[in-house]
Structures are given as structure tokens and as C-alpha cells.
Amino acid sequence: MNSDDERHHPDRDIETGEAIAELAALREVPAAGFADQIRHSIQRRLFAAQAADFSLHVFLQIMFEYLSAALDAFRGPQPPQHRE
């Protein structure tokens, strides 16, 4: 509560009157297909999230392969193993 409130209404005891009964039952009828729009919107976002996950996974996999190849190249050719 800010100081203005305290200054103008120090006792806080403000009579607000009776509730508007008509508002409690207020409803709006949705347009046809409203629930379908919500479902489609959810499905779109789920698909987008899966696509983003997949892209990230592919990107990380490619980076890993490049890194492995670079490390192999840095080490140079391995000498052949001699068997006893």
C-alpha cells in the first residue's frame, strides 16, 4: 500500500456496496470451432518444439562427428599394432 492510500483512506474501511449479481453468471458463447483452434494451436507448438529438439540433436551430433574427425587428424596416422 502506498502513502497516498494511507493519506486518503487511513482506516481502509471503505464500504464497496453489494456485488453485481448479474456479473457472476456472465458467460460468452465461443465461436464455432473455438476448441479446435486451441487444439491446433497446441499441436503446432508441440510440433515446433519437437522440430527444435530434433534440430538441436542433429546439430550436436554433427559437431561431435567433426570434433572426432579433427582429433583423429591431429593425432596423425596410428602405427600398426604388432602382435607377438
Partner 1 sequence: MTSDEKLVVAAQEAPEGDTRAFDALVVRHQERVLANCRYLSGSADDAHDLAQEVFVKAFFGLERFQGRSQFGSWVQRIKVNHCLNHLRKRKGKSFLELDDPTLCSAVELQSHASTERDVGHRDMRDRIRTVLDAMPDTLRVPLIMCDLDGFSYQEIADSLELGLSAVKMRIKRAREEFRRLYRE
Residues making contact with partner 1 (CB under 8 A): 1-2, 4-9, 12, 14-20, 22-24, 26-31, 34-35, 37-39, 41-43, 45-46
Q: CB 18 → partner 1: shortest distance, Å? A: 7
Identity of the amino acid at 4: D
How many residues appear in the chain? 84
With cell 562427428, the residue in question is 65
Residue 58: CB minimum distance to partner 1, A? 20
CB of 57: closest distance to partner 1 in angstroms?
A: 16
Dist CA 5 CA 78 (whole Å): 81
**Residue carrying the nine cell digits 551430433:** 61
